[in-house]
Amino acid sequence: MSADTVLSKLKEINGKYSMFHAMTEDTSADGASFLFSAKDNLTSMDMETCSGSKILIGYRPAFDATSIAKMRAAGGKLIGKTNMDEFGFGTFSTNSGLEVPRNPYDLERACGGSSGGSACAAAVIEDHVSLGVSTGGSICCPASFCGVYGIAPTYGRVSRYGLIDYGNSLDKIGVLSAKATDLKKYMKIIAGKDEKDPTSCVQPEFRTDYRMMKSVAIPKEGTEGLSKDVEAAFKDSVENLVRMGIDVDYVDMPSLKYAMPAYYVLATSEASTNLARYVGMRYGQQEGDLSLKFDDYFTSFRSQYFGDEAKRRILLGTFTRMVGFRDRYYAKALQVRKVVIDDYKRILADHDAVLAPTMPFTAPRFDDISKMSALDSYKADYLTVPANIAGTPHMSVPCGYDSNGMPVGMQFVADHWNEDVLFSMAEDWEKEFDMKAPEVGA
C-alpha cells in the first residue's frame, strides 16, 4: 500500500480502530521516505498533544520532542498521535480520558497499555512504524497484545526531551512495528546523546555486526501464573529456540516478586510530582473559576479533569513521599531496584538474554477489564516491570496465538547497551515464526 493510499484511508481506518487522537489532514505523503506515528505524550508542533488526558485538551506544543524531530529529519512524515492511557497510567489503554484503541484482532478486546494506539497502528497500517514510551511495560505489553515487535532501549539511549513524563527515572522511548528489521533501523535514528536532556547518555554506538544470541535464561518465577494458552505458546517457542541452536537454561531470579511493589512506589512517587504542574493555568484547559482562591481553583480543576487512575496514583505517590513514610517506602523501593539490577547482571554474565512470556494472558475483553480491580490490573505487569526498573533494554516478539486467535508475545531482556543482540534475535525469529496479520478493513 503506497503512502498516499494510506493517508487517503487514514480517517476511515481510524474510525474502526480509534488508534489516533490527532491525525494529519494531508492526503499526500509529499515525498516523505516513510510514515510514522507517535504516542500522544511526545510533543509535536503540528498536532495537539494531550497525553491521553482531558486536562491537556487544547495544548499545542511549541516544539517537537527530540525523537520526533529526528524521525522528521530522516525523511519521515508524522501522520498521527496515538491514543494511550492517561499519562501512561494503565495496562490496557482503557484509562484514557479521550479515545480507547481497539485490538486489531478483535474489536471487543484491548490493545494493551499504555502505548496501545501505537501498537494498533503498527499492526494495521502496512509498513508503518510507531514511537512508543515504556515506563513499566508500556511498549512490550501492547506489542504482545497486538502481535507486533516492540523494543524499549537502555534508559538514556534515547532523549526524553519533549516527553510528557510519567516517571522520570523509568521512561524510555522505543519503537513498535510489524517488521523485525524496523527495530534496528529506527532505533538508530532516534538514539543518541541530546544536550537538551541531562538523562541522555554518551553511549556506545550500535554495532554494525550483530552479536548473535547464543543462550537465554528463563527465570522459574517468570513462568508462574500464566494462562494455559500463553503457557503452551511459550513452551512451543522455547522448543523452537532450541532447534535454532540457542541454549536455554532455567534459573532462579527471586527479585522478580519484589519488583512490582517497588515499581509502583517509585513510579507513583515520580508521577505525583510531575502532575503537580497541571493546575489549569499554563497547559491545556484553562476554564476554571478564576474568582476562587488558588488552592480551591487547583482542587476543583484537577478534580474535574483528571481521571480516576490519575487521582489514585497522585494520592499513592504523595503518601509514599511524605515525611515519616519516605524511608519506609521510597527508600526501600530504591534498594529493591538495586537488587533487581544485580540479579539481571548476575544472570546476564553467563547468558545473552533473560526470557519470559511478555504478559501472563492474551488481550482481555473490555467487559472483563471493567470487572478488574486496580490491583488486578497492576498485577498483570509483573513480567514487564523488572526490566523497566532496571533500565535494561527489552523486546517483545510475537510467539504464538491462543484458541481465539489472539497474539501471544515473549520478552527478551539484554544487558545495558546490548540492544544489538535483541535486533539479531528479532530478525532471526521473524524467519522462523509464522506471523498472522490481522484482517484490516474499514
Active site residues: 39, 114, 138
Question: How far is residue 279's CA from residue 397's CA, in Å, rounded to a whole number?
Answer: 40
Nearest residue to 171 (alpha-carbon basis) of 185, 189, 188, 159: 159
**CA-based end-to-end distance of the chain:** 15
Q: In the numeric block, which cell numbers belong to residue 431?
A: 524467519
Residues 6+ apart with CB under 8 A from 233: 357, 399, 400, 401, 402, 408
- Note the helical H segments in 349-434: 366-369, 374-379, 385-390, 419-432
β-partners of residue 217 are 249, 354
Does residue 301 come out as left (phi exceeding 0), alpha (psi in the -120 to 50 range) or beta? alpha
Question: How far is residue 204's CA from residue 442's CA, in Å, rounded to a whole number?
Answer: 44
Instruction: Provide the 10 A C-beta neighbour count for residue 323.
Output: 6
Helix (H, G, I), strand (E, B) or coil at 215: strand
Question: How far is residue 400's CA from residue 375's CA, in Å, rounded to a whole number?
Answer: 27
Do 273 and 317 meet the contact criterion of CB atoms below 8 Å apart? yes
